[in-house]
Structure 1
Amino acid sequence: MNAGTILGTIQRTLIPGTFLFILAVGLTLNMPVIWILVFRVKRWNRSTIFLCNLVLADITWILTLPFLIYYHLNQLHWIFGDALCKITRTIYHVCYYCSIYFVTCLSMDRYLAIVHPLKSLWLLNKQQSLLICLSIWAVTSLASVPVPYVASTQICPDNKTICSLYVFSSSTYITLPFSICCTVVGCLLPFIAICYCYCSSVRTLQKTGLQNFQKRDKLTKLMYSVLIIFALLYFPYHLSRNTCIFLRALWPNVNRSIEHADTVFFVEVAVCSLNTCINPLFCFLAGGDFRDQVCKIPQFRLANMFVY
Structure 2
Amino acid sequence: MAVPNDLSLFNFTSSPFSAEVYVNTSLAPTAPPCPEWSTLPMTTVIPTIYSIICVLGTIGNALAVCVLAHGGSSRRTVANTFMLNLCVSDLLFLLSLPLWAVYYSQGYSWPFGRAACKICGALHTLNLYASIFFISCMSMDRYLAIVHPLRSQSARDPKRARLMCVLVWVLACACSAPTLALRDTYHLDKLGVEACVIIYPSHISFLVVVLMKIILGFLLPLLAISCCYFAIGRHLLTDTVLVRMQSESHPRHTPSFQSSDRPPTPCNGPKSSGGKPPMGRGVERVLWTVAAVVLAFFLCWFPFHCVTFIDILKSQGFLDSCWVTWTINNLTPLTLCLGFSNSAINPVLYCFIGNHFRGHLGSLCKGLCACLKARGEEHSQKRGSFSTRLSSFSRKLSDLKDLVIVETSGPS
- TM bracket (short chain): 0.7 to 0.9
Give the drift of 1:285: 7.0
Query: Which residue in 2 is equivalent to 1:173?
Result: 204
- Give the match for residue 156 of structure 1: 188
Q: 1:57 to 1:146 in 2, by over 3 A?
A: same
Contact 2:297-2:342 within 8 A present in 1 as well: no
Partner-residue secondary structure (3-state), 1:66: helix
Asked if 1 retains the 8 angstrom alpha-carbon contact of 2:37 and 2:322, the reply is: no
Does the 8 A contact of 2:301 with 2:338 survive in 1? no
The more displaced of 269-278 and 179-188 is: 179-188
Is contact 1:244-1:262 (8 Å) kept? no
Q: How does 1:129-148 map to 2 (within 5 A)?
A: 129-148=161-180
Contact 1:41 1:290 in 2 (8 A): no
Distance in 1 separating the partners of 2:112 and 2:296:
33
Which of 115, 127, 133 is the matching residue for 2:147?
Answer: 115
More deviation, 123-132/149-158:
149-158
Cα distance change, pair 245–82 in 1 and its aligned pair in 2 (3 A): farther
Q: Which amino acid aligns with 2:303?
A: P
Cα–Cα, structure 1 residues 201 and 3, in superposed 2: closer, same or farther, change >3 Å? farther
Report the counterpart of residue 124 of structure 1 in structure 2. 156
Percent identical across equivalent pairs?
Answer: 25
Are the structure 2 counterparts of residues 192 and 286 from structure 1 closer, same or farther at C-alpha, using a change threshold of 3 Å? Answer: farther
Is 1:72 the counterpart of 2:88? The answer is no
Match in the other structure for 1:302? none
- Tell me the distance in 2 between the aligned counterparts of 1:288 and 1:103: 20
Cα deviation for residue 220 of structure 1 reads 0.9
Call closer, same or farther: CA 1:6–1:222 in 2, change over 3 Å: same
Shift in CA distance, 295/199, structure 1 to aligned 2, threshold 3 Å:
farther
The answer for the alignment partner of 1:223 in structure 2 is 290
What is the Cα deviation at residue 173 of structure 1? 1.2
Change (3 A) 1:295 1:81: closer
Deviation at 1:5, TM superposition (A): 5.0
Contact 1:218 1:285 survives alignment (8 Å): no
Structure (1/2) with the larger helix percentage: 1
Q: Secondary structure at the match of 1:108?
A: helix
TM-score by length of 1: 0.86
Q: SS at the partner of 2:39?
A: helix
Matching of residues 1-308 of structure 1 within 5 Å: 2=35, 5-7=38-40, 9-10=41-42, 12-43=43-74, 44-157=76-189, 158-165=191-198, 169=200, 171-209=202-240, 212-213=278-279, 214-250=281-317, 257-284=324-351, 289-294=356-361, 296=363
Name the larger-Rg structure.
Answer: 2
1:303 corresponding residue in structure 2: none
List structure 1 runs of 4+ shifted beyond 4 angstroms.
1-5, 251-256, 285-289
Mapped to 2, the partners of 1:28 and 1:285 lie a distance apart of 12
* Gap change, CA 1:201 and 1:257, over 3 Å in 2: closer
Instruction: Give the 3-state SS of the residue equivalent to 1:250 in structure 2.
Output: coil
The one-letter code sitting in structure 2 at the alignment partner of 1:246 is: L
Q: Distance in 2 between matches of 1:110 and 1:197?
A: 8
The 2-side partners of 1:256 and 1:219 are apart by 42
3-state SS of the aligned residue for 1:152? strand
Question: Aligned with 1:123: secondary structure?
Answer: coil
TM (norm. structure 2) is 0.65
CA contact (8 A) 1:111 1:201 kept: yes
SS at 1:155 equivalent: strand
Q: Mean alpha-carbon deviation: is it higher for 242-251 or for 193-202? A: 242-251
- Matched residue SS, 1:154: strand
Q: SS at the partner of 1:79?
A: coil
Kept in 2: contact 1:41–1:293 (CA 8 A): no
Aligned 8 A contact 2:110 2:196 in 1: yes
Query: Hey, what's the Cα distance between the residues in 2 that align with 1:67 and 1:202?
Result: 42
RMSD: 2.6
Unaligned runs of 5+ in 2: 1-33, 244-256, 258-277, 367-412
* Whole-angstrom CA distance in 2 between matches of 1:34 and 1:3: 49
